[in-house]
């Protein structure tokens, strides 16, 4: 899927929940943020959503998460991981 073919409706602000989101939906959210599709590019948020997609078993998200990690410093990665944990806590 080309990035330009994606709609911003896959972004978390449009209804993804920790309880029901699929790995594919989380992966698409990561793509949206990594490329800035209909939003500001945010590599920390992209890492967060790719990480969540990996937890749901999405293999391509692993590669993207690694790519984001290469572009971020340690503090940014910590922020992304903290945001992912916080999002998961919303389900509990």
Task: Answer whether 29's CB lies under 8 Å from 12's CB.
Answer: yes
Which pLDDT score is estimated for 14? 60
pTM, two decimal places: 0.84
Burial of 47 (0-12, 13-18, 19+ CB in 10 A): buried
pLDDT mean over 61-81: 97
pLDDT band of 5, cuts 50, 70, 90: very low
Task: Answer whether 34's CB lies under 8 Å from 60's CB.
Answer: no
Which pLDDT score is estimated for 60? 97
Residue range 8-53, pLDDT digits in tens: 344 456 678 888 889 999 999 999 999 998 889 999 999 999 999 9
Q: How far is CA 21 from the centre of its chain?
A: 12
Which pLDDT score is estimated for 8? 39
**Residue 38 vs residue 66, higher pLDDT:** 66
Cα separation, 63 vs 91, in Å, equals 26
User: Mean pLDDT of all residues in the chain?
Assistant: 85
């Amino acid at each position: 899927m080309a990035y330009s073919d994606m709609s911003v409706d896959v972004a978390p602000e449009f209804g993804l929940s920790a309880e029901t989101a699929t790995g594919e939906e989380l992966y698409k959210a990561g793509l949206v943020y990594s490329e800035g599709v209909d939003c500001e590019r945010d590599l920390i948020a992209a890492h967060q959503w790719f990480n969540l997609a990996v937890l749901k078993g999405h293999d391509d998200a692993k590669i993207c998460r690694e790519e984001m990690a290469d572009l971020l410093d340690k503090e940014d990665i910590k922020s992304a991981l903290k945001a992912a944990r916080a999002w998961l806590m919303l389900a509990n």
